[in-house]
A and B are shown apart, each in its own frame.
Chain A
Amino acid sequence: MVSFIEIESVSYRYEETNHDALSGVSLGIERGECVALLGPNGSGKTTLIKHLNGLLKPQTGRVAINGVSTRERTIAQLARTVGYVFQNPDHMIFADSVEEEVSFGPRNLGMAKDDIRRRVDEVLAFTALAPYRETHPMSLSGGEKQRLALAAIIVSNPEILILDEPTTGLDYKSVQSMVHLVTRLKNEGKTIILVTHDMSLVSRIATRAVVMLDGSVVADGTPLAIFSDKELVERAYLEQPPALALSALWGVAPSMTPESLARAFREGRR
């Protein structure tokens, strides 16, 4: 059974370092999954996701998207299927208007002008950026820029979405709107890979969590299973969602979010 995204025994070592950033990593991700990639900085998460859109090619092993090895495709070709939203919007914003910024990707990919216009309209509406169509991207707030970064990638309609720390540095309202947007994308059937430290994001969206440490995958399961493993949580420098600790304290069904905890509590006490 070949997975939609197939990572087979991939190893990668950066120049001038004396250790593998990735050593023999194997992973299969199916269409429509929402996978959270967890682990401390330096564990290889970023190196791994860069292999998914061809920015890096494996030194040993193979990465295949829908059966096609990434070695046989350029980054631009892979960009049609794999959208990579970088962590810092300031590292990609360059245009004079939001509209121009969002049109950049599709134009590079050779989309027809009418299609581009239509998609830009759809995506600006989706991310609630329509009022800022003519605005200079630099004058947007942090949360708005993050939504712009997302818009600029989903406009080309990639099937796979890689989100690198989508909520870092954002305030509460911006985090909520991001969670909302990603949930909708998940419901549209996109395959989502989430690199994050934000446990509230993981507990609300991810159906699967993969933990990396020192270039290898050390755990792979549901977020609940991962976070219930105290030894793993400590070893991989993860943070256990407080709701889970409270579940244990009150003796109710293990819950990852305050909402599900409240539900479990009510049911437990009935």
Chain B
Amino acid sequence: MIPLTVRDFSFSYPHTDRRIVNDVSFDVHEGEFVSIVGPSGCGKSTLCYACNGIIPHTISGTLGGNIEVFGKDTATHEPHELSAEIGIILQNPETQLFAMTVEEELAFGPENLGIEPCEIERRIDWALSIVRMERYRETFPFHLSGGQKQRVAIAATLTMMPRALILDEPTSQLDPKGKREVFDVIKRLHDEEGMTIMLIEHETDLIAEYAERVMVMDAGRIIMDGVPREVLSKVEFLHKVGVRPPEVAEATFRLHREGLVPAVCTTMHEAREMIW
């Protein structure tokens, strides 16, 4: 059973015929690090909510096609059934945390799943070590920085032991320090824990560095799907769609167009490796 199977999926919100996601099909395989980029309103967030059952159970609307998470159909399984398989991290650090201490926040998910208290303790220890927040176990989350809050949100999802993680623009509200902290955690989860990652982001510089596969979404459709090197170097295409290419790509594209450099690079690493 693969983590995510999306087949001809479409969705429109109630009282409108406009499809915000329109006939999307793709698979995400075990251990992949996939990123989705696209302009505002292209349907990326809606797609995220559909992948863990929030759509259609918490948010209603008209569905077409189907989505399966580790073999379970999202239309017939409630979010709470899917939470142990696939976790979601949202954009706003403020509204994902609601407990009085970090420890209680992390306990909430497994408590709901009926996990034994000693096992919950063990999971909390593990999750805190992955996000490097061991010192903050008793802290009132309101007092944490944005980056710390997002890491707690990730830890609070990890205690449910999902095998895949969806992250919807997790760093958009954070400062550069917070962005790095969160990306490091995501990378660690992928590299060391073998977690399957689906990341929605605007930060194409970081995506070029970390992701294995990039999909470009526009007006509800997936219009490109490939490795970062390929997708993020198509500077003119990305401009037209409304996606910011990595700065390295912007710079090398101009020079490549004038024949001054041999290729368009998407990361500093590629730029260093470029052979003249």
Contacts and interface: CB of A to CB of B under 8 A. Distances in A.
Whether chain A touches chain B in the assembled complex (some CB pair under 8 Å): yes
Interface of A: 40-42, 141-143, 168-175, 197, 200, 237-239, 241-243, 245-246, 249, 258-259, 261-262, 265-266, 269
B178 A41 contact: yes
Given A171-B39, A172-B39, A249-B271, A239 B176 contact: yes
B16 to A, nearest CB: 13
A246 B244 contact: no
Contact of B40 (A142, A200, A245): A142
Nearest to B261: A265
B176 A242 contact: no
23 contacts: A41-B177, A41-B178, A168-B173, A169-B169, A169-B173, A170-B40, A171-B242, A171-B243, A172-B39, A173-B39, A173-B242, A237-B177, A241-B247, A242-B205, A242-B247, A243-B251, A245-B268, A246-B248, A249-B271, A262-B255, A262-B258, A265-B255, A266-B258
B175 interface: yes
Interface of B: 39-41, 91, 145-146, 169, 172-173, 175-178, 202, 205, 239, 242-244, 246-248, 250-255, 258, 260, 268, 271-272
A253 to B, nearest CB: 13
Nearest to B239: A172
A40 B178 CA distance: 9
A265 B248 CA distance: 14
Contact of A262 (B178, B205, B244, B251): B251
Contact of A141 (B41, B246, B253): B41
A168 B205 CA distance: 16
Contact of B244 (A141, A169, A175, A241): A175
A238 B91 CA distance: 22
A174 B172 CA distance: 14
A205 B19 CA distance: 38
A258 B247 CA distance: 7
B260 A265 contact: yes
B202 A172 contact: yes
Contacts of B251: 242-243, 246, 258, 261-262
Nearest to B238: A172
A258 B250 contact: yes
Contacts of B246: 242
A200 B247 contact: yes
State the 5 A-B residue pairs at the shortest beta-carbon distance, nearest first. Answer: A258-B250, A242-B247, A258-B251, A262-B254, A237-B177
B242 to A, nearest CB: 5
Which residue among A170, A172, A245 has the maximum number of chain B CB atoms within 10 Å of its CB?
A172
Contacts of A171: 39-40, 202, 242-244
A269 B260 contact: yes
Given A171-B202, A237-B175, A243 B247 contact: yes
A168 B172 contact: yes
Contacts of B254: 258-259, 262
Contacts of A173: 39, 242
Contacts of B172: 168-169
A261 to B, nearest CB: 5
A164 to B, nearest CB: 13
Contacts of A242: 205, 246-248, 251, 268
Nearest to B242: A173
A172 B271 contact: no
